[in-house]
Amino acid sequence: MGILALPAELSLKCLEGLSIQDVINVAQTCSRLRSLVLSNRLALLNTSNSHAIAAPRGSAIADISSQCLYKIAAKSAAVSKRLHAGSPQERLVSVKQVFYDMSSISLNPPWRDCSPWSFFLSEDILAFQRARSVVVLKCSPGDSAPSTWHRWTQLDLGKELYQAQCSISQDGHSLIIASVALYPTRLSVDEICLTDEHFGIRRTHLRILTPLEDRQMYSLAVGDPYVAMVFPARRILIINWRACVGAIYELEDPDWINNAPVLEGILNDEHVLWGGDSLVFRPGEPVAVFVSFKSGGITLHTIDIPSDMPAIQSFSASISGWTNRVLSARSQFTHNFPNVPASNKVF
């Protein structure tokens, strides 16, 4: 008995664990299977890499129809297929260019005195770091060329600004900006409204002195509702800035889990996950991906963000009283870089 003769429930069960591309391929084989996938959200939500399906800004996966879910998944699969189609040494070629007219924006300091960097783009929102501020722009609707901006604001983050990162809120109505300033090391989280009625209104959720100010920071990550500072020497600061809870974590190397006891919340050096560089939050879930670089390759570790983090003061000038804990990271994916001399690599 073939899959076409099975009830819909059993057919969906057969699709569980496949990749997004596999389910798209199944849907393209015949009208009956296409109808099955288009009318059942679980066909795509139960794929092995369903986390790659990104909901449009301001929407949740749970609110998207099965037809829209299929369109998003098909686009995601097409992009992935294109990125894997060419030789690793081939340059990526842009398929679209959009020009933006910045002449009408009067920034302080003037354009000629300071160049922008650290760009963030999400649909019609563009943000970038410039001097001691973050500039947020909202593109005008329509297909005019070059594109223009009908809303913009400049957020001053202080003269000692070191790094800033941006993310869109879960409801899509605001931009979340995490920033780190030095001397002393301060972490801030601000929310900028993106709706036309209240565009540019700022709300500060977090402003604290970090308890690891004597350590060099590797990277900064922000999402809704989490912010994290990744440090060398095995430590990572994770804060839920909406709930005002947080802790300092040491990430345990998966190869050493359960091999030895942990005493007083501190790991032996050989049990620590070294070489971490950055953290990425998974939208809408208490999950993060920790990126670990090692000689000749890269490993991605999935981290479940604890739900029992202790309360913190969201506006605090104290660096004491923080909780130190051990967090186990599980290996998710490892990729070894090809053995190609650096001078021959194409970026």
**Whether 205 and 315 share a structural domain:** yes
CATH of residue 126 = 2.130.10
87 against 4, higher pLDDT = 4
Same-domain status, 138 and 261 = yes
- Contact residues for 181 (Cβ-Cβ < 8 A; gap 6+): 157, 158, 160, 161, 162, 188
H helices then E strands: how many in the chain? 5, 18
Residue 71 and residue 193 in one domain: no
Same domain, 68 and 119: no
Give the confidence band of 154 by pLDDT, cuts at 50, 70, 90: confident
Q: Are 133 and 177 in a shared domain?
A: yes
pLDDT value, residue 344: 40
Q: Which one, of 128, 116, 185, 182, lies nearest residue 155 by Cα?
A: 128
Does residue 174 share a domain with residue 218? yes
Taking the C-alpha atoms of residue 317 and residue 295, their distance in angstroms, rounded to an integer, is: 39
**Between 318 and 276, whose confidence is greater?**
318
Residue 229's DSSP bridge partners are 220, 237
Comparing CA positions, the residue from 263, 199, 274 lying closest to residue 232 is 274
Burial class of 281 by CB neighbour count within 10 A (0 to 12, 13 to 18, 19+)? buried
Question: Which segment, 198-207, 225-234, 313-322, is predicted with the most confidence on average?
Answer: 198-207
- Whether residue 141 sits in one domain with residue 202: yes
User: Which is higher by pLDDT, 9 or 176?
Assistant: 176
Specify the DSSP class assigned to residue 337.
P
Q: Is residue 106 part of a domain?
A: no
> Distance of CA 37 to CAs 55, 67, 72, 78, Å?
18, 8, 13, 17
Q: Which pLDDT value is given to residue 185? A: 84
Highest mean pLDDT out of 50-59, 122-131, 246-255, 318-327: 122-131
Does residue 152 carry a pLDDT above 50? yes
Q: Are residues 41 and 115 in the same domain?
A: no
Q: Band of the pLDDT at 270, cuts 50, 70, 90? A: very low
Q: What CATH number should be reported for the domain holding residue 71?
A: 1.20.1280
Domain that holds residue 8: 3-85
Note whether residue 101 is domain-resident: no
Q: Is the pTM of this model over 0.85?
A: no
* Consecutive H or E run containing 112: none
Which carries the bigger pLDDT value, residue 310 or residue 284? 310
Domain assignment present for 105: no
pLDDT, position 141: 61
In the sheet with 324-328, reading across from the earlier edge strand, the strands are 219-222, 226-230, 235-240, 245-252, 324-328
Q: Is residue 152 assigned to a domain?
A: yes
**The predicted structure's pLDDT at residue 147:** 59
Average pLDDT over residues 127-140: 86
Q: Are residues 271 and 305 in the same domain?
A: yes
Structural domains counted in the chain: 2
Residue 19 lies in a domain: yes
- pLDDT band of residue 33 (cuts 50, 70, 90) is confident
Task: Determine what percent of the chain is predicted with pLDDT higher than 70.
Answer: 73
Give me 175's structure tokens. 């931009």
Element (H, E) at 187: strand 186-193
Instruction: With respect to residue 90, please indicate whether it lies within any of the assigned structural domains.
Output: no
Cα(44)–Cα(77) distance, integer angstroms: 12
Least confident among 120-134, 163-177, 327-341: 327-341
- Look at the block and give the residue holding tokens 């300091």: 109
Give yes or no: residues 120 and 217 share one domain.
Answer: yes
